Structures are given as structure tokens and as C-alpha cells.
Chains A and B, each alone.
Chain A
Amino acid sequence: MAVCVAIIGKDNSPKFLSSLNPDEELCFQYKILSSLDIVEEKIHGVNRATDNRELFLGLLYALETHKIYGYVTNTKMKFIIVVDSSNIALRDNEIRSMFRKIHSEYADIICNPFYIPGEPITFKSFANNIKNIMTGTV
């Protein structure tokens, strides 16, 4: 179970953010912002991975309380998942499949003619679907 999911645009501006506990949202935002440094380095840095097909970036930050994972699409949209450090049930594979589900949700939303690419995503159904992915009910 993830505690927070964020979708960040290619210009590094937030497009969508959902967290289980709304009180912590501000703190999550700061954490996600910091983790973007690592994402940027992984995408553009000197030692970037040569395999372009691998979208999953792996663990970005392991803080005392939380672990942050990253995923980047070919169009440089970034997906971030924050997991509680105490949650050891989630392994890389689960996180990976969670990212894939988010990616397919995102692809659906891009196909929606009412969504303007580049704008923040405000659809209720999308938020619900993401919540379900976070809580693992899908």
C-alpha cells in the first residue's frame, strides 16, 4: 500500500497528487520535489542508464519514514510513489506493477478529449482509480 502518488509533468510541475492522509500532503510535496533531483540526474545525468525501454527508475530516496520510488514515461512524465518505510510487504515487483497501472490510467486520461495536455488532472474518476491502485484494491 502506497501512501502517496504523484504525477509530475515534463517541466517538473505537478499534475496530480493523491495521498492517503491529506494532512501530510504538504510534507509529501516537499519530499517528492526533492526526489525530482534524483530523477533528473537519472534521466539527464552522466551515468544514466543506457536501456531506454526501462521506465522504472527504482528507489530514489530511502528516508527514515518513507521510501520514494520513481518511474518516467517516454514523454518524460514522472510518476512518483511514496511508501511507508515500515511497509516491507511491497517489493520492487509490486511497485513496478503499481507504476504500470498508473501509466495505463494516465494513458487513458490523455485520450480523454476533455483533458488538455499539460494542465493539472482534476477528474474525479481518475483520482478514484489512482486511490484504488494505491490501496491495492485493484
Chain B
Amino acid sequence: MAHSAIQNSFDLPQELCVKPSTLVGVSGLDTLNNAIHKAIWEAFTGNRRVERAPVSFKLISNAHEFPVIKPKRNSYDWYIPKGILKKNWMNKHLYEIPAVIVIFYELDWNDLQWNEKMIECASRVQSMRAALEGRNTRITVVLIQNIIPIPTGEDILASERAVALCASCELHSQSLFILPIGDHLNGYAIRLENAFFEFAQSYYHNEAKAVRSHKDQLNKNTHQYLYVRHQFKMAFHYELKQDIMTAHKHYSHAYNNLLEIRIVDTNALEIRMVAGYINYKLCKMLFALNLPRDAISHFKNHIERFKHRIGFHELTFEHYAWLSKQFQFFGDVFDETVKLGLPAVQTQHPGMYYQQAAQYAITRKIVCYELCAKVTTYPQPDPLENFAQMEYYGQRPWRAGKISQDIPDPQLESNGIQALQYLEKQVNHSNLIITLYGLAISQFKTYRCPRTRKHLVLQMADEYYASQDYSKSLTLLTHMLWDFRQEKWWSLMSHIMNKALKCSFLTANIQDYMLLSLELLGKYTNISLDNKKRIYENFNRVLKGEIPFGDPDLPHDMLQKAIIIWQPVFHSSQLKVTVDMTNITSCIETKARFLSRFYEVDQKVTVEIYIRNTSPFMITFSRVSVCINSPVFTSEYAVNSSTISLDFPSNEVKKFEIQFYPDPNDILKDIQIGNINVEIGHPGCKLELKFTSSCDTKGTYPELLHFKYSKDVLNFDNIRPLSTASIVPRSSKLEVSFQHKQPALLGEWYEVYVQIDNKEYNSIDNLEVLLASIEEETPSTTQVSVNSNGIVRNLPLSLDVKKKMGAGETASTYFHLRVHKVSVKNVQIKITYFLNNDNVPVISTKTESLLISVVQPFTVSTTYTSKLMMDINKFYVDEEFGIIPAISILSPWPIIIEKTSFEFSPSVRQVEKNIVSPLHKMKLNEGEVGNELFLACCDRATDQNVTLGQYTIEWRRADAQSITTSTITIIGCPVLKVPLKLSTVLPAHGTVRTPTVIEYMVENKSNHLIQLDVNVDASDGFMFAGFKQPQAKGVMKLPDCVRPSNISVK
């Protein structure tokens, strides 16, 4: 027990590390037997959250004895301190001397036995005061009352009795409190607690002042230790007072005073220890004051100052232990602050301190091995037996408190050193180092330093190796290898793999041993040829079932142990080791590729496998095979080793070829090259290597690899793997031809004749012709059918064709297509059939596509004329006009117009009945135009162009039977309304010099009365014969009144 304390003597004492809180003593509570007292105690001590005052409570029994106060010293003249900091001092103020004593007493103001109880209370106060004789501890009394108090000042009895009680207890009136037992116990407790805390603060302030008052009596010659001690005490009191600023000030005074002390051999340890303690407090305060930079720089200065003060040469390890602990504690404090919200950065975070701590711990270990190797016995009598009773921090147990600078007894001294060395030798350094590395690694991970972290993990692995935990070391090393491989740090890799190989040898891990051997034999590792040779020989030994030779620099006893572990490995008769070579850069490199991206189903698939041996020695394989993954299952194909030998001399590349027929079920699916399996050894001891074919091409520039000069006949580096291939149906020898008359006309059923010639050597079965797809936009503008007047069908459309065809036979079919948009259509025909082979019928397909352009057969343009055959661009209500549609033929093929008709819209009236179109049965060639005329009349006026009706043309190609109907909507002109309609009735002819009667009809179309003034002027060829003025001169026209007026002219 004591020994472990000495071994860890550089740990910070617990009283230093706790966050100091004010101590309040509680007396008069019987928490065991009295439920009310227990509730009060729990209200104070339970549920202490952060926002509550930093107070800790201590139950004090009536008979409690406080630490005896030391007699006051009037003068320090003859006082020589024996050390700097006393070990019990902090504990005393933290846990034993309360700043405030609270005496609980159950007493109501109207208690019947008031006087008796008052006297009892006073005596309790007195006895407590006597126990605390000489201390400045504040005594307070809390009366536990069952009656809810009336507000102060109104209860006269209460105020009188309170004054009396204070007087009899010799108590200040502010030190008397009332605690009613009611609902709000917790609230009262918090208020009381805050009051106590205030008392405590003033108590600690006074204590600090009392310490300060000694300062004048000190002198720098003999009391240097006291300068430190007093400043430390003041700082600690202020810390208890929760005044961190002032505490920090005094701690730094203490630290500076400490630095002024001359360091000699006898006090080196003590000063170092105390400096560490004060530095710890300082750094903690600086972090708490949010001054992390100051904390770091203070710590660095602190280390700089003490780094080279090694002290006793024989105890150098103590110095490094101390340094290591310093870094560790700083890392802890830093980390705690980070957890409270301080942001740390990549270049300044706790991990770096842990790392440094680990490094010092390693130095400690090395120094310990140097210095303590010879120590084998613990000296008698025990020079360290007084360790637990030492009065001061950091002193040697065999000369505790001896301040003189000369070494008292060389024998005692050397015994002490020997004892310390003996104990140091028992320390498990590796555990300490590994713990520190663990802390550092997690920090470096947090601060995004993956590579530094890896380095630390490797160092951790080294430490595991040093502590003979080889399997853990091996695990760490192999985990790290992957990342180094990724970034191609080959020389680091070789270094790590060498270590890992040793570990795998020492743990008889055959799998890793073989894997690492193969990797170390590769071309990238930079180890000597001798070493490679040794590895190669060992590799072969394992294959033969023999224990490999260990590394020559391993000590003899470790070799012995390893051989014992290796023996059972070979006991089983069948030893088969399977190693996954994915991501391993071993001495065996493989590549595999299909020769083509596509294979037809009746073709042989060829896979080429290239294997290269980059080791300097010959390697012989027993079997090479490749796995081909199809979507359903995996098949393995072995290389025929009878044709090509499987011996691989150094740097030889060999090519193997594997051929197989694909499975017809895999048509239109991908097949992949899976693993390439290479087996080494014989059936008794077999090593199976599984290579994944998908080697990553990342980081290599294929176009640059051509620059690489290679002596190999087979240029391994330039082979690009092709690991997937698709199985496609065999290409068909059927010939497909189409007969049709381009271009197709818009709206007609366009016939396409398909002829299929069988040019295969065998007959075919199950012939199926599918009209697969038409390049199409939505909504669809194309319709398909199997005959010209048939029903519209959906795609894909199976066409009628005979099912069997002999070799050389011909089959034919046709389909019809109707397009409603001028465009070019791509039609695909898909033919599938079984080819009757010698063995299994092979399914074959063929796809043909056909481009059909679609044009308009004709255009229709319309002109309008008046009854006098004049072109017009507006119509009048009730006035007849002519519609002349002109059909101009665009089709290259002649078109016969079967029938035309005009269907008038409701607003338009047809004038003629039973008209016969002149275009009927007329054959029109390209460029020709056919006209006809319809008379029509509008009844209503509109501003817009009036829709006249639908013009329907039934037509067909001159050489086709099926008739197509095209309908065109004819849009006319605006219809105007005139109020007056004038029409003339003329005889068909006149005779010279004979009067002719001309009748003008004037019709009022409006709803109003119109007054007309009519004048008639004869033209040059005519003269009036009769009235020149019509009768109707000055006539009024009533609406809808028709009035003829006859005028004779000659």
C-alpha cells in the first residue's frame, strides 16, 4: 500500500485537485432518529446543482473535537521552517475547520418551557464556542419552529424573546435564524445557505488577512520557505472564498517566491513537487479565468525552468516521471476546459500534452532500465517506512524535516536511493505509456490529425511489443498498414511490416505471418536482399509444415517461447490458410480481363489471367483458378497447368487463358470476374490467396504508363483489366428487306411490306416478328394496324408470319401505319427465333429499323368572290358570295379525288342544292391544282373571320384502293351589315334605241326610317327614256320596306 503510494508519489494529492468549497459545520441535527432533522439535512446536502452556492456541509456531533490550534507565535526570529507545504494543511481547511458552525435547535416562540430551553440552547452555543477556542469560526443558531412565523416586527413576543435569546447566547442578532417546518423547506434552505456562504466568505477573507499579517516578521534569509507557504495559504483561503482573481495573484506570488529559493540536492525534490502543485493551481485558475494562452505559456515556462533540473543522477527516473505527470495533468486540465466550451485548435490541443507525457514516460522507462537493473533487493531496515507520516510534501522519508544542506548519512542515503530504485523497477511502465497514448490518440482523432494519430498508434504498438503483448501489437500494426499502403509510404510500410512479422512469429499467427511474408517479398519494400531471402526461406518452411526460424535479433528466451506456441499449429493434418489479398501489395500481382466487352451467346468467352511474381525468388503455385460471377451463381474455372508451368521465376509474368461457353440464361446480363484464386503448397499445408480482380486504377495514369519501359514480353503494367462483360444474343443471319412507297402521305394507311430471307445454314423455328417501337413523341401521332382498313392496334405489334422456315426460304408479312403529323418516323422490327443447331436450339434475335418520312398529300387554299366574280375580303349580310377551294397536290404520287363536299356551319347558308363537284374522279399529279365553287350567304354580322364550314376531300393514291378522308376547316372573312340593300333587275340583253326598263330594288335592312335622295346618272352609252328622276325622290324608307323604282333608259 505504502509502496504504491511512493511509486505514484508524483500524482497530485486529492486535496489539491478538488475544487475547494466553503465548509459549514452543522450541529444539533439528529439525522438518524428524527425525520424532520433528516429532511432538513437532505434539503441542504441533496440535489446540489451548479447554481447553488459552493458550500459543503459537515455534520458535527456535540462531542466533536476540532484540530488543536497551534500557539500563536509572537516572533519568527528563531523559527526555522522544516519544509514548504504541510501535508495536512489543505485537508484541515477543506474538511475539518468549518468557516461557519450552524447550531440547530427546536424552539418555538411561544414554547411553554421557553426559559429552560433558552438556557439549554445557550449552553450548547457555549460548549461549541469552547470547542472552537481560538478559532474565528462564526457561530450561528437556527431555530426549528413548527409555527409559521408572522412578518417581523408584528410579533412582539417573538422579537422580545429573540433579543433575549441572543443575549443569553452572546450572539449577534444577525446570527439567529428561524427555519419553519413547512412546505417550502428547500427555499428556506437555499436562503439560509446563501447567508452562511456570506459569513464564510468574510471568515476566509479574515483568515487570509491574518496570514498576511505575519509577513512583516519574516526575513528572506531564513524564511524563504515561509514566503511560499504564506502566499499559498492566502491563495487557498481566497480560493475557498471563491475569489479566483485574488487567489491567482497569491498563487503566482507563491510560485515566484519559490523560484527564488536556491536549489540544492536536498531540497530539489521538494521544490519541484511544490512548483508542480502551484503550477497546477495556476493553470487551472488561468483556464477558469478564460486565459488559455496565459495558461499554456505559463506551463511552458514552468517546464522550461525545471526540465534540466534533474536532481540526483541515481534517481533521474523521478525527474522524468514528474515531467510526464506535469504534461498529463496539464492535458487533463486543458481537456476539462475544452469540455466546458473552450475551443481548441489543430495545433494546440490536449492531445499534444498527452503525447509529450507519453514520451517522458518512455524516457522514464529507459532511464529506469539503465539505473535500476542492478537493484535486486529491498534494503533493510526500510528507509521509506515513515513515508505515510511525513509532515511536508516532497521530502525524503529518511531525512524528513531535516533542513541542513549536507547529506547526513551516506549509508542511509544510498539505502533510500536503492529502495526507490527497487520500487521503480516494479512499476509497469508500459501500462502508463499505453494509457497516455490512448488519451493522446483520442484527442488527435478529435482534432483531425489522422496521420499523427496513426503514428501514435504505431508507438502504442511498439509499447505493447515492449510489454510482450504481441497479439495486441500485431492487431494495431496490421490495422495501420492499410492507410500507409493507401498513401504509398513504402519505406515506413517496410518498417512496420518487419515489426508485424516479428509479432506474428511470436504469436504463431500463421495467417498474418504468411501474408506479411508475401508482402515483404514484394518489389516496393526496401529491405535488404538477405532479409528477403530469410523471409522467403521461412515462408517455404511453413509450407512444408516446419516451424520458421525467428528473427536473428530476437533474444533466445523469446524464440524458445515462440517455438512452443508454433508447435500445435502443425498438428492438424490438413492445414489450409486462406488469405484475402484485396488491398495488399504483395509480391504476387494478378490481373484478369475479358477479351471483349460483349460476347454472343454461342461464342466462347475468353478470360486472360496475368500473374506476376515481383519477389526476387521463384514461387511455385499448385493451382490457379478464376471465379466468374453471373447474376445467379458463381462458377470457378481452373487453369490447365499441363500446358503452362506454374513455376514463377523472379519477375516473370505469365498469361493463362480460360475459355468457356456462356450460359444462355445470362443473355443481356453482365458476367464479372470475381476472385482470382492462387494456391501455394501441397494438400497437407495449403495457402490459398484470393485476389479481387477489381484493382483500383486510382492514382495511376494509364496514358503515362506507356512511357514505362518494360523488358517483359508481356507488359504487365499496361494491361488494363476488364472485369465485366455482357452476354448478348447471337447476331442473326436473317436478311430483312422492306418494300414501300416513300414518302408516306399524311393521314393515309401506309403499307409496308416486310420480306425475311433465311440465310442461316439451318432451319429456324418459332419465328416471331415484332413491330417493336416507333420513335414517338406524346401524344401519339401514329397508329398501326395489320391491314389497311383494320382496327388500330397497340405496340408492340406481333405481325403475321409463318413460324418455320427452312434454310434459304423466304417469309413475308406487312403492316400498315398511319401518321397524323409531318415528320420522319423510325420504325423498329424485332425478329426472334430459335435456330435449330446441332444440339440445343439457340435463341437469336435481329433488329431492323426503317425510316419513313411523312409528307402532306396536298394543300387547300381558299379564295372568295362576289357574285360578279370579283375577289372580296369581306362578306355582307344577306349578300351571296362564292367560296373557291383550290386543292394543290404536293404528293409525288398521283392522287385521285373521289369526292368532295362542303358542310356549312350554322351561321352560313348554302345557296345551291345538289351540286356536283367538277373534281369528282379526277386524277391530279404533283403540282396540279383542282378548283371548285360553292355559293353561300351569311345571315349575321361578325367582326371576326367567320367559320364557313368543313371541306371534306375523299381521296386515294392512283394505285391504291383504300380511300382516305381529309377534312379541312375553311375560315372566311368578317361579315358586315349594310343598312341599305340595292339590287338591280336587268333584262338579259337590250336593243339599240329601244327603251329598256331597269329596275332598282332598294331595301332597308335597318330598323330605322331612312330618307333617301336618289339620283341616277346615265353612262355615255345610255340615255334616259322617261323619268330621269325616280318616283321615289325624297321618299322615306320604312324598315324592311322594299320599293321598286323603274327607270327607262335607251
In the complex, what residues of A have CB within 8 A of residue B458's CB?
Answer: 30
Report whether B495 and A26 are in contact in the complex, using a CB–CB cutoff of 8 Å. yes
User: Complex Cα distance A98/B781, Å?
Assistant: 74
On whether A116 and B451 interact (CB within 8 A), knowing A12-B487, A26-B492, A29-B492, the answer reads: no
In the complex, what residues of B have CB within 8 A of residue A13's CB?
Answer: 487-489, 699
Confirm or deny: A34 has a beta carbon within 8 angstroms of a beta carbon on chain B.
yes
On whether A36 and B451 interact (CB within 8 A), knowing A11-B699, A116-B708, A117-B704, the answer reads: yes
User: A19-61: contact bitstring with B at CB < 8 Å (1 yes, 0 no)?
Assistant: 0000001100110011011100100010000000000000001
Give chain A nearest CB distance to B397 CB in angstroms. 34
On whether A14 and B489 interact (CB within 8 A), knowing A26-B495, A38-B346, A117-B701, the answer reads: yes
Which partner residue on chain B sits nearest A113 by CB separation? B707
In the complex, what residues of A have CB within 8 A of residue B707's CB?
Answer: 116
In the complex, what residues of B have CB within 8 A of residue A136's CB?
Answer: none
Give chain B nearest CB distance to A26 CB in angstroms. 6
User: Complex Cα distance A36/B492, Å?
Assistant: 15
On whether A30 and B488 interact (CB within 8 A), knowing A38-B347, A116-B707, the answer reads: no
Which partner residue on chain B sits nearest A10 by CB separation? B699
Which partner residue on chain A sits nearest B699 by CB separation? A11
Give chain A nearest CB distance to B351 CB in angstroms. 11
In the complex, what residues of A have CB within 8 A of residue B700's CB?
Answer: 118
Report whether B708 and A41 are in contact in the complex, using a CB–CB cutoff of 8 Å. no
User: A93-124: contact bitstring with B at CB < 8 Å (1 yes, 0 no)?
Assistant: 00000000000000000000000111000000
Q: Which residues of chain B from 482 to 527 have any CB-CB distance to chain A below 8 Å in the complex?
A: 487-489, 491-492, 495
Report whether B346 and A37 are in contact in the complex, using a CB–CB cutoff of 8 Å. yes
- Counting chain A CB atoms within 10 Å of each CB, which of B451, B455, B705 scores highest? B451
User: Complex Cα distance A69/B107, Å?
Assistant: 77
Report whether A29 and B489 are in contact in the complex, using a CB–CB cutoff of 8 Å. yes
Report whether A26 and B491 are in contact in the complex, using a CB–CB cutoff of 8 Å. yes
Q: Which of A14, A34, A45 contacts B451, CB < 8 Å? A: A34
Report whether A11 and B449 are in contact in the complex, using a CB–CB cutoff of 8 Å. no
User: Complex Cα distance A117/B704, Å?
Assistant: 8
Which partner residue on chain A sits nearest B709 by CB separation? A114
Report whether B488 and A14 are in contact in the complex, using a CB–CB cutoff of 8 Å. yes
Report whether A37 and B489 are in contact in the complex, using a CB–CB cutoff of 8 Å. no
Give chain B nearest CB distance to A127 CB in angstroms. 15
Give chain A nearest CB distance to B81 CB in angstroms. 37
Which partner residue on chain A sits nearest B708 by CB separation? A116
Report whether A30 and B455 are in contact in the complex, using a CB–CB cutoff of 8 Å. yes
Report whether A11 and B487 are in contact in the complex, using a CB–CB cutoff of 8 Å. yes
User: Complex Cα distance A122/B965, Å?
Assistant: 85
Which partner residue on chain A sits nearest B488 by CB separation? A13
User: Complex Cα distance A83/B701, Å?
Assistant: 34
User: Complex Cα distance A111/B454, Å?
Assistant: 35
Which partner residue on chain A sits nearest B346 by CB separation? A41
Confirm or deny: B450 has a beta carbon within 8 angstroms of a beta carbon on chain A.
yes
Give chain B nearest CB distance to A115 CB in angstroms. 9
Give chain A nearest CB distance to B531 CB in angstroms. 16
In the complex, what residues of B have CB within 8 A of residue A30's CB?
Answer: 455, 458, 492
Give chain A nearest CB distance to B585 CB in angstroms. 12
Q: Which residues of chain B from 447 to 474 have any CB-CB distance to chain A below 8 Å in the complex?
A: 448-452, 454-455, 458
In the complex, what residues of B have CB within 8 A of residue A38's CB?
Answer: 346-347, 449
Give chain A nearest CB distance to B443 CB in angstroms. 13
User: Complex Cα distance A29/B454, Å?
Assistant: 13
Report whether B489 and A118 are in contact in the complex, using a CB–CB cutoff of 8 Å. no
Give chain A nearest CB distance to B276 CB in angstroms. 20
Which partner residue on chain B sits nearest A34 by CB separation? B452
User: Complex Cα distance A71/B489, Å?
Assistant: 20
Give chain B nearest CB distance to A29 CB in angstroms. 5
Interface size on A (CB < 8 Å)?
A: 19
In the complex, what residues of A have CB within 8 A of residue B705's CB?
Answer: 116
User: Complex Cα distance A33/B444, Å?
Assistant: 14
Q: Which of B347, B454, B487, B699 contacts A118, CB < 8 Å? A: B699
Give chain B nearest CB distance to A3 CB in angstroms. 17
Which partner residue on chain A sits nearest B492 by CB separation? A29
User: Complex Cα distance A12/B450, Å?
Assistant: 13
In the complex, what residues of B have CB within 8 A of residue A61's CB?
Answer: 347
In the complex, what residues of A have CB within 8 A of residue B454's CB?
Answer: 33
Give chain A nearest CB distance to B1018 CB in angstroms. 100
User: Complex Cα distance A81/B451, Å?
Assistant: 18
User: Complex Cα distance A12/B704, Å?
Assistant: 19
User: Complex Cα distance A38/B448, Å?
Assistant: 9
User: B632-646: contact bitstring with A at CB < 8 Å (1 yes, 0 no)?
Assistant: 000000000000000
In the complex, what residues of A have CB within 8 A of residue B704's CB?
Answer: 116-118
Report whether A33 and B448 are in contact in the complex, using a CB–CB cutoff of 8 Å. no
User: Complex Cα distance A13/B489, Å?
Assistant: 6
On whether A37 and B450 interact (CB within 8 A), knowing A12-B487, A14-B488, A116-B704, the answer reads: yes
In the complex, what residues of B have CB within 8 A of residue A26's CB?
Answer: 491-492, 495
Give chain A nearest CB distance to B175 CB in angstroms. 58
Q: Which residues of chain B from 273 to 297 have any CB-CB distance to chain A below 8 Å in the complex?
A: none
User: Complex Cα distance A12/B700, Å?
Assistant: 14
User: Complex Cα distance A61/B450, Å?
Assistant: 15
Report whether B699 and A33 are in contact in the complex, using a CB–CB cutoff of 8 Å. no
Q: Which residues of chain A from 66 to 101 have any CB-CB distance to chain B below 8 Å in the complex?
A: none
Report whether B346 and A33 are in contact in the complex, using a CB–CB cutoff of 8 Å. no
User: Complex Cα distance A30/B454, Å?
Assistant: 10
Give chain B nearest CB distance to A119 CB in angstroms. 8
Report whether A41 and B448 are in contact in the complex, using a CB–CB cutoff of 8 Å. yes
User: B317-353: contact bitstring with A at CB < 8 Å (1 yes, 0 no)?
Assistant: 0000000000000000000000000000011000000
Give chain B nearest CB distance to A34 CB in angstroms. 4
Give chain B nearest CB distance to A84 CB in angstroms. 18
Report whether A33 and B455 are in contact in the complex, using a CB–CB cutoff of 8 Å. yes
Which partner residue on chain A sits nearest B448 by CB separation? A41
In the complex, what residues of A have CB within 8 A of residue B449's CB?
Answer: 34, 37-38
On whether A34 and B455 interact (CB within 8 A), knowing A13-B488, A14-B488, A116-B707, the answer reads: yes
Q: Which of A11, A29, A34, A37 contacts B448, CB < 8 Å? A: A37
In the complex, what residues of A have CB within 8 A of residue B452's CB?
Answer: 33-34, 37
User: Complex Cα distance A45/B451, Å?
Assistant: 15
Give chain B nearest CB distance to A24 CB in angstroms. 13
User: Complex Cα distance A38/B458, Å?
Assistant: 19
On whether A33 and B489 interact (CB within 8 A), knowing A11-B699, A38-B346, A118-B704, the answer reads: yes
In the complex, what residues of A have CB within 8 A of residue B448's CB?
Answer: 37, 41, 45
User: Complex Cα distance A116/B458, Å?
Assistant: 33
Give chain B nearest CB distance to A17 CB in angstroms. 8
Report whether B495 and A33 are in contact in the complex, using a CB–CB cutoff of 8 Å. no
In the complex, what residues of B have CB within 8 A of residue A116's CB?
Answer: 704-705, 707-708
Report whether A118 and B488 are in contact in the complex, using a CB–CB cutoff of 8 Å. no
Which partner residue on chain B sits nearest A14 by CB separation? B489
User: Complex Cα distance A106/B568, Å?
Assistant: 56
Which partner residue on chain B sits nearest A25 by CB separation? B491
In the complex, what residues of B have CB within 8 A of residue A14's CB?
Answer: 488-489, 491
Give chain B nearest CB distance to A5 CB in angstroms. 16
Give chain A nearest CB distance to B755 CB in angstroms. 59
Give chain A nearest CB distance to B962 CB in angstroms. 71
Which partner residue on chain A sits nearest B698 by CB separation? A11
Q: Which 5 residue pairs spanning A and B have beta carbons closest together?
A: A13-B488, A37-B449, A34-B452, A12-B487, A33-B451
**Which residue numbers of B lie inside 8 Å of A, CB to CB?**
346-347, 448-452, 454-455, 458, 487-489, 491-492, 495, 699-701, 704-705, 707-708
Chosen A-B contacts, 30 in total, with CB atoms closer than 8 Å, are A11-B487, A11-B488, A11-B699, A13-B488, A13-B489, A13-B699, A14-B488, A14-B489, A14-B491, A26-B491, A26-B492, A26-B495, A29-B491, A33-B451, A33-B454, A33-B455, A33-B489, A33-B492, A37-B450, A38-B346, A41-B346, A41-B448, A45-B346, A45-B448, A61-B347, A116-B707, A116-B708, A118-B699, A118-B700, A118-B701
**Which residue numbers of A lie inside 8 Å of B, CB to CB?**
11-14, 25-26, 29-30, 33-34, 36-38, 41, 45, 61, 116-118
Contacts A14-B491, A33-B489 known; list 13 others, CB within 8 Å. A11-B488, A11-B699, A13-B487, A29-B492, A30-B458, A33-B451, A34-B452, A36-B451, A37-B346, A37-B450, A45-B346, A61-B347, A118-B700
